[in-house]
Amino acid sequence: MYEHDVIVVGAGGAGLRAAIAAQEEGADVAIVSKLHPVRSHTGAAEGGINAALREGDSWEDHAYDTMKGSDYLGDAPAIETLCQDSPKETIQLEHWGMAFSRDDDGRVSQRPFGGLSFPRTTYAGAETGHQLLHTMYEQLVKRGIKVYDEWYVLNLAVSDEEVPEDRTCHGIVAYDIQSGEVSGFRARNGVILATGGPGQVYDHTTNAVANTGDGVAMAYRAGVPMEDMEFIQFHPTTLPSTGVLITEGVRGEGGILYNENGERLMFEYGYANNAGELASRDVVSRAELTEINAGRGIDDEYVHLDMRHLGEERIIDRLENIVHLSEDFEGVDPLEEPMPVKPGQHYAMGGVETDENGETCITGLYAAGECACASVHGSNRLGGNALPELIVFGRRAGAHAAGKDLGTAEITTGKRGEWEAGEVDTPVAPGSVRSPDDSAVADGGEKAADGGAVAATGDEIVTRAVDAENRRIEHLMTKDEGVQHAEIRSEVQKSMTRHVNVFREKEGLKQALRDLREARERYTDVYVNDPSRTYNTDLIQTIETRNILDLAEAITLGALAREEFRGAHWRKEHQERDDENWLKHTMLSWNDGAPELWYKPVILEGEEKTYEPKIRSY
Length of the chain: 618
d(CA 67, CA 604): 9
d(CA 450, CA 165): 15
d(CA 185, CA 167): 18
Strands of the sheet with 49-50, listed across from one edge? 49-50, 121-122, 110-111
Q: Is the dihedral of CA 553, 40, 450, 363 positive or negative?
A: negative
DSSP code, position 253: T
State yes or no: is 281 an active-site residue: yes
Question: Could you report how far apart the first and last alpha carbons of the chain are, in Å?
Answer: 55
Long-range contacts of 56-64 (CB under 8 A, 24+ apart): 56/118, 57/118, 57/120, 59/83, 59/84, 59/86, 59/87, 61/117, 61/118, 62/86, 62/118, 62/120, 63/606, 64/117, 64/611
245 CB neighbour count, 10 Å cutoff: 23
Determine the residue type at 187.
A
CA 57 to chain CA centroid, Å, is 28
* Contacts of 575 by beta carbon, 8 Å cutoff, 6+ apart: 565
* Cβ–Cβ under 8 Å, residues 232 and 258: no
Distances in whole angstroms, Cα of residue 215 to Cα of each of 353, 369, 537? 12, 11, 18
* Contacts of 456 by beta carbon, 8 Å cutoff, 6+ apart: 159, 160, 450, 464
d(CA 10, CA 152): 9
At how many degrees (to 10) do helices 506-523 and 537-561 cross? 150
Which of 17, 120, 251, 281 is labelled catalytic? 281
DSSP per-residue codes, 494-563: HHHHHHSSSEE-HHHHHHHHHHHHHHHHHHTTB--S---SSS-HHHHHHHHHHHHHHHHHHHHHHHHH--
Peptide bond into 375 cis (omega under 30): yes
3-class SS of residue 151: strand
Active site amino acids:
281
